[in-house]
A and B are shown apart, each in its own frame.
Chain A
Amino acid sequence: MLEKAIIGSKKYYAWLALVLAVAGAGFCCYLYQLVTGSESSGLSRSFPWGVLIANYTFMVGVAASAVMVVLPYYLHNYKEFGRITVLGEFTAVAAVATAMLFIMADIGRPERAFNLALYPTPRSPFFWNMVLLGGYMMINLVVGWFALDAERNSVPAPPWVRILSYISIPWAVSIHTMTSFVYSGLAARPFWHTAIMGPRFLATAFAAGPALLIVLCMIVRRISTFDPGRETIQKLAIIVCYAMIVNIFFILMEVFSAFYSGMHSHAAPIKYLWVGVEGHRAMVPYMWGSAIMGVAGVLLLLIPRYRLQEAWLALACVLIFISTWIDKGMCLIAGGLAPTPFETISDYAPTAQETVITLGVYAIGVLILTVLYKIALSVKSEPAAAVHP
């Protein structure tokens, strides 16, 4: 099947070239960072994590969301999703690869990354992230690949594919739960040290991931002869809608416990994000932008008149995707790190170099996604009667 990735139209090659160019630019910036030190980042000893870790966190969520198509199809035999499970799994593969690349691009000594395996440390969430993300990527690649191969040959998938897909369901939940432990396990950071971090991560994941999948399905329908089906997209839209409502509910829970308890250290990060503290207002426009986009997206999805129209649906999905990207990306990091242990505020803004590296990592993710989707769509677009030797 791999040959399908290298046989394509001129538009396909042009798209690959564009994505490779962005990835190349990011890689050059990364090499510069590696040789000179991360000196051109906006980070400091009081703000040690930035835009790379923010995007890592967000992309793990996108990866986990494949479970939202795998679970209804494999566990509840919801046939509609059978058409797009492979797309969901391949999206997860690209998203996990992107997340892991963000970590690699962020750490100070990437040549020592294997120390994670050489000195396994089960008490550290980063150790489990390595194990879980690596495993999740393999499971989705293998399940997606063999299910697609079976579809191509018009035979049922081997039975172990189904078993592996069952395993992928709790595994998907585990990757994002473990990501939340990176934050919720730190007593030093009141904004992160909350048990609702895990549930909130999952809620945003199950909103952002399927939202992306809806947009991808709409693109797929335009550029190929494969149609994911209107019913499929509408079901996904309802998942996005309720996951986002649950997320907003969780945010309000956070606000209540932080403010009603009168705990200054818990309220300060929320104030910093929403109204600013002592003149530090860097995140305020983003936080409000995220809130407005999130609520608007939910309203568009709740009202059938809009949800049923594809243009409005696409807009709602884009709004929710960007809303959660801001909220569980940079705002999450800033809420935890900007209020320092000395009750001062430290500011951070990504530099041009960090931005290009971020775009470069995303470009590699898009490249992986394009190649995997190309293979899947080539198979799915083939006439069912096509016989292979």
Chain B
Amino acid sequence: MMRLDRRDFLKCTAAGAAGLAAFHSVFLGRVFGAAESRSAAAPGQKVKRWALVVDLQKCIEGKAKGCINACHQWHNVPEWPEERLEVKWIWEEKFSRLFPDQSFAHMPEALRDRPVLALCNHCANPPCVRVCPTKATFKRPDGIVAMDMHRCIGCRFCIAACPYGARSFNWKNPREAENLRHHINLEYPTRARGVVEKCNFCAERLADGLQPVCVERAEDGALIFGDLNDPASKAAQVLAAGFAIRRKPSLETDPQVYYLISTVR
């Protein structure tokens, strides 16, 4: 018969607990992509946490077109005449469409019908990353939800999983689109038919120390981009001084695109 004295028992218990903890953090974290914390932003950390703040006061009709065109031109996004084939990284949508659960009959019409910029939310807890069967879409340590266009098999599970309608599929060869036949930006790759694409927070420009195209193009600071882990960044300061909302917070995806409603005095 096996005998366990008190000392051995404690040893075993400790080893078991350590094993379970390791299993939980490594296996469950890897397999189910469990979020490390409820909120991604942890001020004071060295690792970056990129976020975009859209100032709804300054984001008014007509002004956003410049941002959209600049982004789509820079990233060689194809333009198709048929709505069905549409590919878009950033676009305008009525406030009531972006925030259906924040809209009600008696709100100012100017707000309800206001065209607001929509783009990938670069969620800290992204459903698209969870469902991708090849890790073609993945979350970088700085929070950017990126795509590997060479690995994507085009199953479109991520499109079905995204609660924000932020992803597009290349139903046709994008290089044959009228706008890309004549001019392409050689600083950013074009895509092939049969893969999914979306906003990448201009990861390629951030690497060169540049701001995202839309932010650079926006007038009078309507778009504020920055590192939320750096309390001195403009984005962190604006959020600390105002009231901002995010799309579909009840789904707990922890979006990193914030819509600034007003400044708190």
Contacts and interface: CB of A to CB of B under 8 A. Distances in A.
Interface of A: 36-39, 41-46, 48-49, 103, 106-110, 112-113, 115-116, 118-119, 121-127, 130, 182, 185-189, 336-337, 340-344
Nearest to A42: B84
Interface stretch (B49-57, B146-154, B182-190, B201-209): B146-154
A188 B163 contact: yes
5 contacts: A37-B173, A108-B152, A109-B192, A182-B157, A341-B164
A343 B248 CA distance: 12
A343 B100 contact: yes
Most buried by A among B31, B157, B167, B196: B157
B165 A342 contact: yes
Contacts of A130: 133
Interface string B135-154: 11000000000000001111
A304 B86 CA distance: 55
Contact of B154 (A41, A108, A121, A187): A108
A48 B133 contact: no
Given A43-B171, A45-B169, A108-B153, A37 B133 contact: no
Contacts of A106: 155
A115 B136 contact: yes
Contacts of A39: 85, 171-172
A115 B84 contact: no
Contacts of B154: 107-109, 112
A36 B172 contact: yes
Given A188-B162, A342-B165, A343-B97, A119 B155 contact: no
A48 B131 CA distance: 15
Nearest to A39: B172
A121 B132 contact: yes
A38 B134 contact: no
Contacts of B97: 342-344
Contact of A46 (B161, B165, B248): B165
A112 B151 contact: yes
A109 B155 CA distance: 8
Nearest to B176: A37
B131 A44 contact: no
A109 B170 CA distance: 11
A36 B193 CA distance: 9
B131 A189 contact: no
Interface in B40-79: none
Contacts of A49: 156, 160
B84 to A, nearest CB: 4
Most chain B CB within a 10 A radius of its CB, from A42, A116, A119, A130: A119
A187 B251 contact: yes
A32 B152 CA distance: 21
Contact of B100 (A48, A121, A342): A342
A237 B181 CA distance: 61
B124 interface: no
A37 B172 contact: yes
Contact of A186 (B93, B127, B133, B135): B127
A187 B127 contact: yes
Nearest to B84: A44
B152 to A, nearest CB: 7
A45 B131 CA distance: 17
B161 A38 contact: no
Given A186-B131, A188-B251, 10 more contacts: A36-B172, A48-B169, A108-B152, A108-B154, A109-B153, A116-B133, A123-B30, A124-B131, A125-B131, A336-B160
Contact of A337 (B93, B133, B160, B168): B160
Contacts of A127: 133
A48 B161 CA distance: 11
B213 interface: no
Name which of A37, A103, A118, A185 has the most chain B CB atoms within 10 A of its CB: A37
Nearest to A38: B171
A232 to B, nearest CB: 40
A135 to B, nearest CB: 16
